[in-house]
Every structure is written in C-alpha cells, then in structure tokens.
Structure 1
Amino acid sequence: MKTKKILLLLAKGFEAYEASVFTDVLGWNRLEGDGTTEVVACGLHQALRCTWNFTVIPEMLLSEVDPAGFDALAIPGGFEEAGFYEDAYSDEFTQLIQAFDRAGKPIAAVCVGALAVGKSGVLRGRRGTTYHLKNGLRRAQLAGFGVQVVDELLVRDGNIITSSCPATALDVAFTLLEMLTSAENRRAVQERMGF
C-alpha cells in the first residue's frame, strides 16, 4: 500500500492538543492500523511556540514544502493572543491551502483553524463551522469569508472538514483517517486506541 503523507500546518500560537490528535491518530494508524499514514509538521518558523508556551520544532519550513508530495493537510487552531492569526492569515498559508484544494486533497481544520481555510477563499459558498463561543465572533468572521456557517460540531463539505472547538479535535482526526483509508480501518484504529 502507498504511504499517505499528511502535512501538519502549524501557525505560531497553535494549540498543542489540536495538533497532537493528528500525530497520535495517524501515528496509531501507522503502527496499529493499515500502516499507510505519515505526518510531517511544517511552519513558517524554525521553532513555534504554542498557545501555552510549549515549543515545537517542525520537520520542514513552509518554504520547503511541495504540496504535490502530500496527500492531505491538517490545520490545528490557536489563540489570537499568542499570535495565531499572524501566521494563519499569511499569504504563505493561503497559497498552500489553495493548492491542496485545487488538487481535491483533504483539508482538516480544528476550531479556528477553519478561519485560515475560510480566508484562503476555498470555502466560499460552501458549508463550514468554527469556534462557537465568544458571542459568535469567530463564526461571524468565518461567514465574512463567504462561508455558509452551520451550527454543528463537525462539518464536512467535499474535501474539507471544519469543527467547532477543541473537543472535536479527535473526531476531525478520525474523519481524516477515514477519508484517507476506510471506515473499517478507522473503526479498527479507534478500537485499538480504546474508543
């Protein structure tokens, strides 16, 4: 079976938990599932400080990434106060997201990671969701990008998955796993992980 490479796109100020669900679920699949997934982390900086001051060193810089070498894109959310939108709204992020969408490859965004997807324009006229609290501020921002905002925990519109909060992160990762492999494999990995 061909290995499916997932690019984990990290903005400074990302939430470590929302990134870890992809490395864990897809890592479990590599060892305990069908063995076909590999996650590669990238970002604009050589070291990225998470929302809660945990620092991560990505395997690649975004400038080194060739989207053709990857099968899917995963985007965790983060906090404005930690500088998340400085990277998430950058031209480099936008262009990468657009390239994955043009190729019809899966794009999975957790919580406000959906705002980076919305800003790229690939969700215009499509269904999506994002963080649901803070008086609806984040959902209003997503709607401002031309997205049909849906009041659901997880929304899949074609190749794009968006979700409403950190609690949905595991569901996003498992949905991405299913898109890349199969429903049967997803169930097998969930069972092996104790879900």
Structure 2
Amino acid sequence: MKKVLMLLSNGFEAVEASVFTDVLGWNKLEGDGTTDLVTVGLHERLKCTWNFIVQPELTLDQVNLDDYDALAIPGGFEEAGFYEDAYDQRFLDVIKHFHNKNKIIATICVGSLPLGKSGILNGRKATTYNHPTSKRQGQLKDFGAIVVNEPIVVTDNIITSYNPSTAFEVAFTLLEMLTSKDNCIHVKELMGFH
C-alpha cells in the first residue's frame, strides 16, 4: 500500500484538497487498490479559504513521516491565513523530510511556495499561481526556483502547478507516479476523464 500524507494548512482551498482525496480514493476502491491518503494538519480543526471547517484525521504530532510514500499539499489564500501554517517551521520540516528521502511531493497552485521557502526548489524548475495580477511567481523565483510558466512542472519527484484548474491533473500525475500509467488511465476513464 502506498500511503500519501496530505498536509493541510489553515486557509487551504477545499477543491484543491478534494482532488487528492477523490483520485486516490477512486484508485483504492476501483483502481489497483494500492493507495491510501491520510489528512494531516497542525491543528485539530482547520478553516478552508471559503470558511468550510475540516477536521484532519491526524495532527502532525501524531504522525511518523517514515510511514508515508508521498506528500500532497493543496494551495490556499493569504487572506484566509494559508501562509501562517504553510510557512510554520514544522510544516517546512515535513517538506524537507520527504525531499531528503527522495519521496514524491505534489502541490497545487501556491502549495509550491512552502516548498520554495523550505529551500528544496533552489535551482530547480517549478511553477505557482500565474495570474498576471499576482506576485506569486516572483516570490517563488525569490526562493531560488527557476520559474516555468506552464500548467504542471515535474522536476525529479516534485510536482508543481500554476492554478486551481490544474488540480485534477496534478492528482492524476501523482497517481501515475505511485502506481502506473495504465492504472492511471483506467481510473481516469472510470471517473469520466476521456
């Protein structure tokens, strides 16, 4: 069984988290059955960007990081407090742990910014939120990343993307990396992606 830790910050976007739960859940029940996802946060209750309240399965202090094969991080909004958790040293230490063990890290939209802050994107190609009115790609560049304005950028075991519209494709990319291309195509077809 491949276990994925989905690390949630206060202020995360629910839609960006839900693609990981759905794609990996569909795989667990209808695909090859080899994926399991666990939701983890720094707090017992989290408030999403649009005030949806969530209770992660575990808090970070209850987790043994070595039990997990991949890390998934949805993005969120600064106005909802996303960076307070996402830039917390404990959050950054999780990212460094997965990176140091050469495990897969998948992010959506600004979920790549804590990766940048942790230092693991220094000199690596990556992307983040790309709207012309946003400063997020500049912030990622300031963290030392080589910013590529493409929907999804995969560098080694790190998946980054540039806005919420890429969310499903990030989750499918993660599924393919954890299982196989054929299995991923099978799950996509079952979910109505042709």
TM class, shorter-length? over 0.9
Q: For 1:116, which of 102, 111, 114 is the aligned residue?
A: 114
TM-score, structure 2 normalization: 0.98
Deviation of 1:136 (Å) = 4.1
* Cα distance in 2 between the residues matched to 1:161 and 1:173: 10
CA shift for structure 1 position 66: 1.4
* Unaligned segments of structure 1, at least 5 residues: none
Q: Deviations over 1:14-47 (max 9, x none)?
A: 0000000000000000011000001100001100
Q: How many residues align?
A: 193
* Equivalent residue, structure 1, for 2:61: 63
In angstroms, what is the RMSD of aligned CA positions? 0.7
Q: Distance in 1 between matches of 2:97 and 2:183?
A: 28
Determine the C-alpha separation between the residues in 1 that align with 2:60 and 2:109. 21
Distance change >3 Å, CA 134–CA 45, structure 1 → 2: farther
> Which of 44, 47, 50 is matched with 1:52 structurally?
50
Identity %: 60
Q: Which residue of 2 aligns with 1:31?
A: 29
Report the Cα offset of residue 67 of structure 1.
1.2
CA deviation map 1:31-73 (0-9, x unaligned): 1100000110000110000000101100111122211000000
- Of residues 32, 40, 43, the one that matches 2:41 is 43
- 1:66-85 CA-to-partner distances (Å, cap 9, x unmatched) read 11000000000000000000
Give distance in 2, aligned partners of 1:106 and 1:114: 13
CA distance in 2: counterparts of 1:85 and 1:164, whole angstroms: 17
